[in-house]
Amino acid sequence: MTFAIEAEGLVKHFGETRALNGVDLTARTGSVLGVLGPNGAGKTTSVRVLATLIQPDEGQARVGGYDVVKDAHRVRQLIGLTGQYAGVDEMLTGTENLVLIGRLLGLRRAQARSRAAELLERFELTDARDRAAKTYSGGMRRRLDLAASLVGRPQILFLDEPTTGLDPRSRGGLWDIVRGLTDDGVTVLLTTQYLEEADQLADDIVVIDHGRVIARGTPDQLKTQAGGQMLEVRPVTAADHVTVARIVGELTGAQPEVRDGLVSAPLSDPAVMPAVVRRLDEAGVTVGELSLRKSSLDEVFFALTGHHAEEQQEAEDAQAESVKAGV
């Protein structure tokens, strides 16, 4: 098995902040590796190291078999990068943006133009090709950005939160595009804070928190790893949720979570189910909803980190912003 991306023990400091604290990851050639984690976890920093934009303080990484520090120029000939902030020149038209990249990659003017036209067509931007990118919608910008990263026909593509801030429809469209890319044998490293996105697109997932990898595996492996199944109970009378939580807690041995009147807890032994039903009946609680299902990736994340993806994200937004701005 060959790896298009291999990173070992990456460490990167920004002043006092330890953005990467020993990140190891590998992506199989032709697969999609999902790098999952909240904002400020170190996803973007990892991508920036792998895409040769910054050098790690410690550790090493190879992309397409080349060292990202010693052979950066060769790595750059193999990769495409779509950053968190769409890296398109807003003052240029769609065509000009793509021609610019083509020319920088050494294409002749005519070649650059035809490659641009081809990509604009593919990403449904042909109608907007002669408009300045600043007039584009968020989804169009991301598509143009993705097109720009494909001008050089990269073997390895880095997508740093490609759908952050997009509406659900545009997000779905982008997912289709990513799926199409892997059909061509491109290796994709995709960072996301959306668990659903990693679930949908990734062959393998690494979960990053506080600059280190805290879990890795296929989406199914991760779901099984963290408790396997979830028991959910919704009492008809909302006030009963305290009683329900107590009973569920006693029987599952886990601290149940109550959200909007729904009591949920991870369950390792399905045989507990009948006991739960019996105890609830004895307690006189009428159950409106009772289910047993595979954990979602969000619950996996909760089980792994002790906090929900979104909560930490909000808390660290401010910090991440200030690091980015270099203030």
Binding site for another protein (CB under 8 A): 48, 51-54, 66, 71, 73-74, 76-81, 83-93, 96, 100-101, 103-106, 118, 121-124, 132, 145, 148-150, 152-155, 157, 176-177, 180-181, 183-186, 325-327
To the nearest whole angstrom, how small is the minimum distance from the Cβ of residue 206 to another protein? 21
To the nearest whole angstrom, how small is the minimum distance from the Cβ of residue 85 to another protein? 4
Residue 89 corresponds to which amino acid?
A: D
Residues 6+ apart with CB under 8 A from 152: 77, 80, 101, 105
Which CB atom, from 6 or from 89, has the smaller least distance to another protein? 89
To the nearest whole angstrom, how small is the minimum distance from the Cβ of residue 127 to another protein? 15
Which CB atom, from 21 or from 155, has the smaller least distance to another protein? 155
180: left (phi over 0), alpha (psi -120 to 50) or beta: alpha
To the nearest whole angstrom, how small is the minimum distance from the Cβ of residue 300 to another protein? 31
Neighbours of 194 (CB within 10 A): 19
Which CB atom, from 96 or from 298, has the smaller least distance to another protein? 96
Spatial contact of 74 and 111, defined as CB atoms under 8 Å apart: no
Which CB atom, from 155 or from 295, has the smaller least distance to another protein? 155
Q: Give the C-alpha distances (Å, rounded to integers) separating 120 from 125, 132, 183, 218.
A: 5, 14, 19, 33
To the nearest whole angstrom, how small is the minimum distance from the Cβ of residue 289 to another protein? 40
To the nearest whole angstrom, how small is the minimum distance from the Cβ of residue 94 to another protein? 12
To the nearest whole angstrom, how small is the minimum distance from the Cβ of residue 2 to another protein? 14
Which CB atom, from 191 or from 264, has the smaller least distance to another protein? 191
Q: Please tell me whether residue 172 adopts helix, strand or coil conformation.
A: helix
Distance CA 45, CA 49 (A): 6
Distance CA 249, CA 279 (A): 12
Which CB atom, from 72 or from 273, has the smaller least distance to another protein? 72
Task: Note the helical H segments in the chain.
Answer: 43-50, 72-76, 94-104, 109-122, 138-150, 168-183, 195-201, 219-225, 241-252, 272-282, 297-305, 309-325
Provide the residue count of the chain. 327
Which CB atom, from 183 or from 282, has the smaller least distance to another protein? 183
What strands, in cross-sheet order, belong to the sheet with 66-67? 17-28, 3-14, 58-63, 66-67
